Structure 1
Amino acid sequence: MGSNKGVGLVFLGLVVGFFGVGRAQLSATFYDTTCPNVISIVRNVVQQAAQSDARIGASLIRLHFHDCFVDGCDGSLLLDSTSTIDSEKDAFPNQASARGFPVVDDIKTALESQCSGVVSCADILAIASEVAVVLAGGPEWSVLLGRRDGTTANRAGANSNLPGPRDGLSNITRMFSNQGLDTTDVVALSGAHTFGRAQCQFFNDRLYNFNSTGAQDSSMDSAYVTSLRGSCTNSTDDTTLFDLDPTTADGFDNNYYTNLQSNRGLLQSDQELFSIDGATVPIVQSFASSQSTFFDSFVNSIIKMGNISPLTGTSGEIRSNCRRVNGGQIQK
């Protein structure tokens, strides 16, 4: 893990330089004097949660991703609905699939007991993502901090700005480009699917009726289809879970990319990275052949993603409860 830390620090310097003065308001040392134990506090809560929930790491990094892609990394995804808040949790890409909110609550409670009113909910998601990756065997990096929390949510934005499991490559690339992320970022951040699970309802059509053809998705390995059909028989099944990476389900490694090379990407949006003769194919091949190359690119890309339109300085607030704005109404 020590060598990966060095990699993270190198990319940290590159990213701060790339984003310039405005974005460089975020700093890896932001809480050094106000909440010096912030990383260890988050790590302890995530470690404890992982003992009973192997999926929690993947769920937390997904929250960070879905938060940043809607009006920037401002913790808006964490807000519950009230008479004035139309929660992003109820948007189609999040409904019945975004999870881990109670763990975020536990992290916030632990931080409030040690350094009240200091650490933002948006920063909690960024820190928890790094912790989750490291606990699963992935690279370390110095998380840039200093985000503040937004006071509004944008359900319409969540419905339109978040890639879905059946999206084609051109649509996914467009959504990333809208956030200032390039093709390498698309492939690197998709590598977070090296751990976690997906419900049958999100890929059932690939097994039985792809594009309304009455046949399976021809880009899927036939033996893989047969194994999935053994348990995935209901297109509305939102309880049966399948490993996104059938080889090392809970480890953060580059097997996601070797799976794509074998036509064993579970979601259509995954396999699209390799089944289309385009710019993503050589990147997949590069990551499949070198885990360190993948780790380097992933660190670079997730730091870039965490820099999407953060609120800093006096903008926004530091929520005392991640589910509602300060002084706001309780969930309806």
Structure 2
Amino acid sequence: MDVFWYALVGLLLAGYLALESIDFGVGMLMPFADTETGRARMRRTIVPLFLANEVWLVAFGGLLFGALPVAEGELLHALRLPFLGVLCAWFLRDAALWFQTAHDGAGWRRTWGIVLAAASLVLAAGWGAVLGMLVRGLSTGSHGHAEAAAADLTHPFTLLCAALAVTGSLRQGSLFVARSLPEGGSLRVTFGRLTRVLTPILLVLPLLVAAFGAVVTDAPVAVATTAVLAAAGVYASDRVQATGRTGVALLLGAAPLVALPALVGAVNGTTVLATRAGGGGLELSGAIADSASLTLMTATVLPALVLVALGQLWFWRVFAGAGNRRR
């Protein structure tokens, strides 16, 4: 039962990244629109959705606190600086989406457009880097606890995971926003070309992650399997997109983003917080909540999560479909 709750926490994070990768990508791609009309059209594709997508992050944090209370404190302490960067980027990205149209001045809109693109980039890269560090294992500080050192953040494996998250988000964003643009329009053609450029890159990046992961972790088979599945998802997404089924292509294209939290579990098993030296780590048995709390959560949290998932499906069907019908 302990593994079930740990896996459910990871599943919520994977769901958040799969959905929000579209918002990250559209935000980063905003500078490609050279007219205010184009930027407004792009912004409208994600404004109805990004708050609903963030529900998964809230659910992830809440379940982490309820099911793995010790792990939450240890993770926040060990990754406090990367998390601070991600948190600031999150606030700025949301602020940019709301404030960009709050004033008619060209300078105002241009400034918030730059903030939106930069914050979206930091969000995608930050989550990729955090998960990459967790896969590789953190340093052990002088106090005996795990901590993310500068060398962990700048390690090639961490940077590769960040690049995978950024590239995957860009491809998801270009796929999603193109379906709401007029057929034959210059912006839609641009995003179509960008998707074709990003696809082979996303086929190579997971293999590079697998190659580096085989060196820096003790689970080369798990890393290789997860990376190959991520590349296979991108390949299948490209094949499906060629038939015009963009929704299925987006689902398959989320594979690189889902692969990152999956790698943490595949490599570290039941070690919730791994360190390379072995000291300061945290095992699942020491992080899980007591049985009474888990029993209460089974009766209350699980039904709520099912309702949230159903509500999310309805929300995407209504609002994402609406964007497609306006084309």
TM score, norm. by length of structure 1: 0.29
TM score, norm. by length of structure 2: 0.29
